[in-house]
Amino acid sequence: MAAILVISVFPFWWALRTGLSTNGDLFAGEQSLLPVGYTDNNFERVLGTASDEEILESLGRENTGSFDFLQSLQVSVIVSTAVTIGQVAFSAMAAYAFARMRFRGRDKLFFLFLSGLMIPPIFTLIPNLILVKNLGWLNSYLGIIAPFFLMTPFAVFFLRQFFLGISREVEEAALLDGAGHFRTFFGIIVPMSAAPLATLSILTYITAWNEFLWPLVVARDPARQPLTVALGQFTAQQPGTSPDWSGLMAGTLLAALPIIVIFLAFGRKVVDSIGFSGIK
């Protein structure tokens, strides 16, 4: 258990240790578990609060690459939040319809929908890009969010399974009490499904936060790049001979911070959801 803990935590510690070291000292070759030539300038640099002198001191040269961390953080938060709200809401409604409402071809439609799980996301990249381009949504929040905003086969499947487990009598009781489908869903089913909805929200948020390829393709404007893309761009801007490892690690740690917080707050739920989904 201790070994697993060390293996799990070590990468984070190494990123922190590198982020708190100066590039110059790192390249001097000192192999210490503790920060080499301790400095917090790298974090200040990533956050855009460091002066030119401080940059020169920690980097040992002028800044060759930069990104607006706070702006990218804002993009990541907006995109992840919007995707989570949209996806969970629409998936829940679709899942309820597939689980409970009677309509012609329901099961066939669900099977068709579920077969979407077998399509690799890369297959839909180009068609989606053309669609978003034609809609004039390149470099916009709409363009980044749109493909993920409605539902995903996994989310619908996940919630449908839960809804199927809810006693039908509860819904029938609500029906006799005078509630229609809409009120039954929002007044009874959704509150009863708080746990799976929270689980799905966490999973969706993490997935949306880590999404790289789609925003890379549709958001060329740095002002619309989430952290994953901005960090990638930052890496690409570094000279091949002496990359800014300290800045990169500081930025990576800051980018991962919200997810780490989610893990700390909802760890059990995240683990359960990963166990349930079996696909992460």
* Beta carbon of residue 205, minimum distance to other proteins (angstroms, whole number): 23
Q: How far is the CB of 199 from other proteins (least distance, A)?
A: 17
Tokens of 169: 């009598």
Q: 145 to 174, contacts with other proteins by CB under 8 A?
A: 167, 169-170, 172-174
- The size of the interface with other proteins (CB under 8 A), counted in residues, is 16
Q: Which stretch binds other proteins (CB under 8 A): 34-42, 76-84, 176-184, 226-234?
A: 176-184
Q: Minimum distance between the CB of residue 180 and other proteins, rounded to whole angstroms? A: 8
Site for other proteins in 193-212 (CB under 8 A): 194
Least Å from the CB of residue 104 to other proteins: 13
Please pick, from the candidates 178, 240, 275, 278, the single residue that binds other proteins as defined by CB under 8 A. Answer: 178
177 makes contact with other proteins (CB under 8 A)? yes
Instruction: Give the C-alpha separation, 237 to 230, whole Å.
Output: 11
Nearer to other proteins, 79 or 188 (CB): 188
Nearer to other proteins, 126 or 170 (CB): 170
Nearer to other proteins, 193 or 201 (CB): 193
Q: In this structure, how many other beta carbons lie within 10 angstroms of the beta carbon of residue 180?
A: 10
List, as own/partner pairs, every contact residues 77-80 make where C-beta atoms lie below 8 angstroms and the sequence separation is at least 24, other chains included: 77/258, 78/141, 79/141, 79/144, 79/145, 79/208, 79/211, 79/215, 79/226, 80/205, 80/208, 80/209, 80/226
Binds other proteins by CB under 8 A, chosen from 16, 179, 198, 216: 179
State the sign of the Cα–Cα–Cα–Cα dihedral 254, 267, 186, 108: positive
Secondary structure of 84-137 in HEC code, one letter for each residue = HHHHHHHHHHHHHHHHHCCCCCHHHHHHHHHHHHHCCHHHHHHHHHHHHHHCCC
Cα 92–96–102 angle (5° rounding)? 155
Q: Which two tokens stand for residue 182?
A: 């809409």
Please choose, out of 2-10, 104-112, 141-149, 191-199, the segment that lies near other proteins by the rule CB under 8 A: 191-199
Does 188 engage in binding with other proteins (CB under 8 A)? yes
104 contributes a contact to other proteins by CB under 8 A: no
The alpha carbon torsion through 51, 237, 223, 75 (nearest 10 deg) reads -90
| Helix 106-114 vs helix 153-165: crossing angle, to nearest 10 | 130
Smallest distance from the beta carbon of 164 to other proteins, in angstroms?
16
Closest distance of CB 95 from other proteins, Å:
19
Q: How far is the CB of 96 from other proteins (least distance, A)?
A: 16
Q: Could you say which DSSP state residue 226 is in?
A: -
Q: DSSP letter at 178? A: T
Interface with other proteins (CB under 8 A)? 167, 169-170, 172-179, 183, 188, 191-192, 194
